[in-house]
Structure formats: C-alpha cells, structure tokens
Structure 1
C-alpha cells in the first residue's frame, strides 16, 4: 500500500485518512450523494420519503431514479417513460456498483444528447479492453479480467446489454439495460466503467479484495468539501446556461388569419 500526503493544509484542521482505489469497478458503492446532489443541482426533484429509499425525478418527469437497499437484490433502478420515438426503458444496477460509474449514466441524463452516433465499445477499446466475440453475443473484458461489458442479441433480434464486475472471492455487482435504453446512455456508462481514474473511499469503506490496489491519502475536510462543491457548482452553472439559452430563443406565434373557416398558418 502506498501512502501520500496532500500539501497546502490550513491551520486548525485535522486530516482524515482516505484511500484511492483501483480498479474503480471493485471500489464498492460509495456515497450516494455523489449522484443525488448532482441531480438536485440540475433541477431534479427529490421524491424520497423520510427514512426510505432514494428517489429522484427529472424536471420533465420523464425519468425516475431510485436506490433501494432495503429489498433484495437491491440497488439502482433508472426508468425512462415513453416519449415520441423513444420507447419506455429501464436500467438496473446492483447496490455495489460504484457511484462514480452510476453517475456516468445519470449525469448524461442532464446533458443534451450529442449529435454523434453513440459507440458503446469505443471507451472500452481506448482502455485496451479485450473483445471476445461468440455466437449471439460480444463481450469486452477489462485488462485485469475483473469487469465486463456484454452485448447479447436475443432470438427476437433485440439487443441486450449486460455489465458488471467481480473479484476472485465472488464479490461484485451487475448491471442490466433493456433493449430500448438509449445508446448514448449505455455509452456514458461504459465510459465511466472503463475510466482508469481511481476513486476515493474513506477509511473503513474499502472492500476487502486481493484484486484492488490502494493508495493512502490524508485529506482535509475542507478539501473534500471543496471537491464535492466543485461538482455541484459545475452542474448548477451548466443548468443555468441551458435554461438561459432556451429562454432567449424567439417564440413563434401564429399569423393572423382572414376568417374562421380559413386554414391557420404558423411561422
């Protein structure tokens, strides 16, 4: 285990021990606020009941996100309602899915969709994941073999995506996406899954696994708070910019028409 000390501490604060954990897929669940506070800063409604599971709803009420540890198998459920050409969709992620990977998907729900065609495999290939094509499905596996992303085509031709991570002791998580899940969201998930960046966990929250590598770091509470606040501030700024852009667009109005029997024309 490596040890590292952060510089630039101010007086009167006591450093706390944390660990940088890699690979991130085996880091354990983490702090739910990494997901929920970002969504709240983006204007999502907190529908949670006191003492109950986490429940968030998008501003347009088309997407709901929940985390429920009180049921089996428990974990995250993300549900998108049908809209226009988009069918209803679901994603389910196990309770030990790291919040940083969950946020890869949930953060993408708050941003405009890219004009580029999504490619779920591209982030994995960039990190040297191995592709293993087989009859009816293709699986990409992380270099250390602990995480995977699988595409499976069923007999009816529908595409199913399945992912997860597991150590040699059998500890881990899985994630499932319905065939109708928007591909840009699956790509956002695979990007977060494949990221080589370690994630931080406090003392006592590091999983016991021979397959993880840890670096001990001493962190001031003010530093940790500043990092968390930076993520929230960025979410608020992006949301404000999008709302300002929408409100500045000129509104279209109906042209006056000659008589009540005439056809209405719009600009």
Structure 2
C-alpha cells in the first residue's frame, strides 16, 4: 500500500498557502487529518468503511485495532479502540484536537510495544513544568504552565479509576473549563505506553505548521514569521510516510514442511507368453 502521486499532489495543493510555525502545539488548531490517515495507510492499515459514507474506519494489519473518524461527531470525532474482548480499551479525541497530538498515540500503534515500563503521565508533564495536585480521592490534576490545558486522572470513590481526561480551554477555573478548544478521553485500560506517547506529544516543544488564521486565538499562542508552507508541509509528510512504510508488518515466511515420501510404484509383471 502506498499513497499515490495524485493524493500527494492534492495534499500539496491544499497547503500551498501562507502560514507559520505555531506554538505551543496544543493551541495550534486542528491541522490536516491526512497527517494521521495517510500514515496509517502507509503502515498497512486498511480502509474498511463505506466509500460513499463521510465517516472513515481504518483497521490495523492484524485486525485487532480500529480507527473511526467522523467529523460530524465533534466530541468523539477521532476514536481508537480494540475489538471488544478481555483487553478492551479506547481513546477518543474531539475533532478540533491538533493532529500532531492525536498522532502521538496513532504513531505509537505502528511501533512494537517497548520492553521498558512507560513513564507515568504525571512524570512526563511535571518535567515540562506542569502544576501537579492530588486530592483526597487520589484524583490527580495537572495544569499546563499557561493555564490552558488541564489533565486529570479521575478516581471515583465507588468504582475507582475511570481514566485520564485532557481538556484544552481558554480558561480553567473554579467552575470548570470555559471556551473549550479540544478534549481527549482515555479508558482506564488504555496501555500505559500509549498514554505516555500521547502525553509526550501534548507537551512537545516543537511548533506545528498552520495556515493563516487556522490556529487558536489566544494570548498564549506564539506565531512565527509567515511564509508559503506547502514545501515544508510536503517534506514533513513524505518523511512520515517513509517511516510508516518501514513499520509495515512483513509477510510471515513459513518454513517448508518435511518432504512427504512418495511410495514406490510396484513393478508390473510381464504377461506370460
């Protein structure tokens, strides 16, 4: 599987516009969904959706994972999950979540699970200067240095841990978030290494390229000098596709089985004269 030249040309044409590097990336705006879908396709995921339906479903090569994309569902526009079973987990993201942040998780799906334990979410964020508090129920709360992103490990007194939630908003106060920009929700059974990959993407210091006016309007947003971003966007996209192709599972090579002996054909006696 590969992205065709026609698809790359369409991607390039859509980004042949003026734009800028925007930071922090969690305030950069949605971005292009093909940042994720093209990459998974190059890594061997298949499109298992109805081609005439606006929603998209992609399935992993081993058919254990699926990605559902439906921009009519604002809060759960992106959803990654396993097939239902003993180890079921799911993660959902609003359609406005920056694609580079969603890709923190989806890119990790293409890689083998690491042998070493993943860093806890709180450790990753506090290393970047996020404020960390824990209440009497053991619910953990973390707030970004600019006060716009709140992460919470929710703990219910009756049912225990219910999972992580991230919310980016213009303001977080006593009565909750105001001006919500995006949100992400993780079931408590989400593998720790995937949570860690997503969290690292949230607080990654690299800016994201965005077209003019496509980023959030906030005093905390820093916009660098403007230029035509098409060539830079295509170069980054091609690098991602090349990396994804290297992650594609190789076909299983079956060892040849033992040779089956062929019984000798008995000699036929010559007829008596």
Query: Shared topology, TM-score over 0.5?
Result: yes
| TM value normalised by structure 1 | 0.79
Paired residues of 1:45 and 1:56 also in contact (CA < 8 A): yes
Distance 2:73 2:17 in 1: 33
Label 1:160 to 1:220 Cα distance change in 2 as closer, same or farther (>3 A). closer
Label 1:96 to 1:114 Cα distance change in 2 as closer, same or farther (>3 A). same
Label 1:57 to 1:135 Cα distance change in 2 as closer, same or farther (>3 A). same
How far did residue 71 of structure 1 move? 3.2
Distance 1:160 1:27 in 2: 25
Could you list the per-position Cα deviations for residues 94-137 of structure 1 after superposition, in whole angstroms to 9, with x for gaps in the alignment? 11110000000011111100111122223212211111111220
Label 1:46 to 1:121 Cα distance change in 2 as closer, same or farther (>3 A). same
Q: Secondary structure at the match of 1:173?
A: strand
How far did residue 38 of structure 1 move? 0.8
Q: 1:109 is matched with which residue? A: 109
Q: 1:165 is matched with which residue? A: 168
1:60 to 44, 59, 62: 62
Distance 1:39 1:72 in 2: 22
1:175 to 168, 173, 184: 184
> 172-181 or 215-224, which moves further after superposition?
215-224
How far did residue 41 of structure 1 move? 0.7
Q: Secondary structure at the match of 2:219?
A: coil
Residues 1:206 and 2:206 are matched in the alignment = no
Kindly report which structure 2 residues correspond to 1:105-184, keeping only aligned pairs within 5 A, or say none: 105-119=105-119, 120-136=121-137, 137-154=139-156, 155-168=158-171, 170-184=179-193
RMSD: 2.4
Distance 2:39 2:163 in 1: 28
Could you list the per-position Cα deviations for residues 169-213 of structure 1 after superposition, in whole angstroms to 9, with x for gaps in the alignment? 614111111111111111111110111111111123223223311
Paired residues of 1:127 and 1:196 also in contact (CA < 8 A): no
- Residue ranges of structure 1 left out of the alignment (5+ in a row): 1-14, 255-267
Matched residues, number:
234
How far did residue 253 of structure 1 move? 7.6
Distance 1:117 1:71 in 2: 34
| TM value normalised by structure 2 | 0.77
1:196 to 205, 210, 219: 205
How far did residue 54 of structure 1 move? 2.5
Distance 2:236 2:159 in 1: 47
Label 1:89 to 1:74 Cα distance change in 2 as closer, same or farther (>3 A). closer
Label 1:220 to 1:71 Cα distance change in 2 as closer, same or farther (>3 A). closer
Paired residues of 2:143 and 2:149 also in contact (CA < 8 A): yes
Distance 2:197 2:255 in 1: 33
How far did residue 146 of structure 1 move? 0.9
